[in-house]
Structure 1
Amino acid sequence: MNILFVADPLESFKIHKDTTFSMMREAQKRGHQVTACEMTDVRWQQGESVTAQVREIRLTGDAATWFTETRTHRAALKDFDAVVMRKDPPFDSEYFYATHLLGQAEREGAKVFNSPAALRNHPEKLAIMEFPQFIAPTLVTKSEADIRAFHAQHGDIILKPLDGMGGTGIFKVGADGLNLGVIIETLNQGGAQTVMVQQFLPGIAHGDKRVLLIGGKPVPFCLARIPQGGEVRGNLAAGGKGVAQPISTRDREIAEALGPILVSRGLTLVGLDIIGDSLTEINVTSPTCFQEITDQMGCDVAALFMDAVEAALPNA
């Protein structure tokens, strides 16, 4: 098979931890052609299919120069056996437009993972609203008064922007309300921006768990991202320590409830964020943690993903 990965620049990959790299490595191991492009390479013109200027590559096994480029050319996305969307967040206007280009490619016959429509319909923080039985007390609002009332009710709270990634823009406010006013001003921009507010979960001390769903089924191990040095954020990008561990009974309960629903919508790969017993986010754009789980637990997550992709293709 020829698999196209729509990703960030190859030269920017940190291959010791990059999930897209691990997918590519598994694809090549199975004899598939690995091809890559960036979203800036994708175009549509009237009378043509959606195409991209693509790079056929060969992984070398060398950490210093991890790939060689064997060919570059323009190709229609529908002519690939699979298109794997791995462009990192944020989900901004350009990402939104990208899902429409990929949606057109789908109409032309391309097989895209994850589904472009599903990417649009599952904003990573707001998607939890569909599953209130699994989440902690949560508020989504632009209103300062609503936020203050929520704080008065719940004491310790977390505030975060809806378009943040990697733990950026997340604030914790204690029961004393110190700095709550300035944090609200910073996040809601005078009532112009919507904010998510959640009850603080002390379970964060044991990690913000990334539970992976592949083909609607939970991977048996998760990565607990544990805050370090007085931080309340467990995100690896914010300095959290990643500790792989078996998923808990509660993790599995949440994953098995959501898995069939999400995969039926075209979400082959999903990253659930769970703190303690509560679901906090549903990540669909570019879920990570493959290599950390594989390295620490010996569970080949990239192989599970490639199995799911192949199983979803009619001629694999």
Structure 2
Amino acid sequence: MINKIIAIQGDHPSKLNPLTDTTIFLANEIQKKKYKIFYYEPKDLSIINSKIIAKGFFVEFNYKRKIFFKILKKQKMNLSKCKFILIRQDPPFNLEYISTTYILDKIKDKVKIINDPTSIRNISEKLYSAKFYKYMPSTIFTKDIYEIKKFFKQHNQVILKPIHSYSGNNIHLLKRFNFNFIKKFLQNHGHIMCQKYLSKIIYGDKRVFIINGQVCGAISRVPKKGSFLSNMSKGAKAINTNLTTLEIKISKLIAKDLKKEKIFFAGIDFIDQKLNGDINVTSPTGLKTLYDLSEINLAKTFWNKLKI
């Protein structure tokens, strides 16, 4: 049975939305091949007697049930006995997140971990994009309020993003320079990403799915009226889309680089054919939404590329 267990490190299933959640979508697909799902939360990961132990439960997912998950058996698991481990908890990318990557590093030569814990730790989802700066809107990364002021004077409308935030949280559209507001913003978030505002965001962004170094599909997410946030959690609506020649070129470049960095599954975003600087490697989402829109099942692609 050693090769028939998939461990998932994630937020408790009760916190997940089965209508959109990629973790459930991936788990549901692998269940069809008679794999068992062992699920645990990051706080329940330990090193005990030199073994990597997680306190969690075996779980079964079923989209047809109102309560979409059933806990079968609670137990402690030596994670080296699993075939794969999926790191799927949502950010924030904080010290607990970092600690779990160090712990899982100790068994990654025995168990395939997706994404590679060392790589997750090394690739900052926003700072990593600086490697592809020429494909981005004008962007700076800084904690210097005077650099932000200079940048604002150049562009008039600027997006402020905390480097380690997620899901559109704490993103601010700066339409006038407010010294006190920005000072407090920097105190709360440290280094931030400042980016020229792209007005075409009202027509949507594009989320591109990368699996094992290949561009596998995309959806567009259109902000709700009056918003500039394209996150589904902020009320955006998903629609089908096609990538332009330029977007495909940039996506392939990034996909190749991510594979070299041992990132198996990632999501990247475009606004008006420009990379917006969010390269999601911690817990990429959107596969269930793509399937609902197009019946393209990238969960199958995911597991096939892992040679289950």
TM-score (norm 2): 0.94
> Unaligned regions of 5+ residues in structure 1, if any?
311-315
Alignment of 1:92-111 (within 5 A): 92-107=94-109, 109-111=110-112
Q: 1:144-163, aligned counterparts within 5 Å?
A: 144-163=145-164
Residue 255 (structure 2) pairs with residue 254 (structure 1): no
Looking at structure 1, the residues matched to 112 and 80 of structure 2 have their Cα atoms a distance apart, in angstroms, of: 7
Runs of at least 5 residues in structure 2 that lack an aligned partner in the other structure: none
Q: Quick one: distance in 2 between partners of 1:291 and 1:81?
A: 23
**Is 1:85 equivalent to 2:82 in the alignment?**
no
* Partners of 2:129 and 2:62 in 1: CA distance: 40
| SS of alignment partner, residue 130 of structure 1 | helix
Equivalent in 214, 234, 257 of residue 211 of structure 2: 214
Q: Deviations over 1:84-107 (max 9, x none)?
A: 110111101111111111111214
CA distance 1:41–1:248, change in 2 (3 Å): same
What is the distance in 1 between the residues matched to 2:181 and 2:274? 24
Which whole-Å CA distance do the structure 2 matches of 1:170 and 1:183 have between them? 13
Q: 1:265 aligns with which of 261, 268, 278?
A: 261
Instruction: Confirm whether residue 287 of structure 1 aligns to residue 284 of structure 2.
Output: yes
In 1: Cα distance, 2:234 partner to 2:180 partner: 22
Task: Show the counterpart of 2:201.
Answer: 204
Letter in 2 for 1:235: N
- Corresponding residue for 1:24? 27
The one-character-per-residue Cα deviations of 1:142-177 (angstroms, maximum 9, x if unpaired) are 111100101111222111111221111111123xxx
The secondary structure found in structure 2 opposite 1:31 is coil
Could you tell which deviates more after superposition, 58-67 or 14-23? 58-67
Q: Name the counterpart of 2:299.
A: 302
Which residue is equivalent to 1:165?
A: 166
How well do the aligned residues superpose, as a CA RMSD in angstroms?
A: 1.6
- In structure 2, distance between residues paired with 1:151 and 1:179: 7
Cα deviations by residue, 1:54-112 (Å, 9 ceiling, x for unpaired): 311223443312222222222211110000110111101111111111111214x1210
Q: Distance in 2 between matches of 1:235 and 1:264?
A: 28
The residue aligned with 2:222 is 226
Output one character per residue of 1:2-61: Cα deviation in whole Å (capped at 9) or x when no partner: 11111110122211111100001100112222221111221003x331111231122344
Alignment partner of 1:195 out of 192, 197, 219: 192
Which range moves more in the overlay, 20-29 or 237-246? 237-246
Paired residue type of 1:131: F
Amino acid in structure 2 at the alignment position of 1:105: I
3-state SS in 2 of match to 1:106:
coil
CA distance in 2, matches of 1:309, 1:126: 28
1:245 Cα deviation from its structure 2 partner = 1.5
- Amino acid corresponding to residue 241 of structure 2 in structure 1: Q
Per-residue deviation, residues 174-220 of structure 1 (Å, max 9, x unmatched): 3xxx2532431231129x81121001112212212111101111123
Which stretch shifts more, 93-102 or 69-78?
69-78
Match of 1:241 among 232, 237, 243: 237
State whether residues 206 and 241 of structure 2, in contact with CA within 8 Å, keep that contact through their aligned partners in structure 1. Answer: no
Q: Contact between 1:208 and 1:235, CA under 8 Å: does it hold in 2? A: no
- Counterpart of 2:23, as a letter, is T
TM-score, length of structure 1 as denominator length: 0.91
Contact 2:25 2:299 in 1 (8 A): yes
Relative to 1, partners in 2 of residues 1:292 and 1:242: Cα closer, same or farther, differing over 3 Å? same
CA distance in 2, matches of 1:49, 1:296: 43
**SS of the counterpart of 1:44?**
strand
Contact 2:202–2:227, Cα closer than 8 Å, also in 1: no
Match of 1:313 in 2: none
What displacement does 1:244 show?
2.4
Q: What is the number of equivalent residue pairs in this alignment?
A: 304
* Structure 1 pair 154–60 and aligned structure 2 pair: CA distance change class (3 A): closer
1:44-63 alignment runs, 5 A limit: 44-45=47-48, 47-63=49-65
Instruction: Map Cα deviations across residues 265-307 of structure 1 (whole Å, 9 max, x no partner).
Output: 2211101011111112101000101111111111111111111
Task: Give the Cα separation in 2 of the matches to 1:72 and 1:266.
Answer: 32
Q: Is the contact made by 1:233 and 1:240 (CA closer than 8 Å) also made in structure 2?
A: yes
Identity in percent: 26
Shift of the 299–146 alpha-carbon distance from structure 1 to 2, 3 Å rule, reads same
Equivalent-residue separation in structure 2 for 1:186 and 1:242 (angstroms) = 34
The amino acid of 2:157's aligned partner reads D
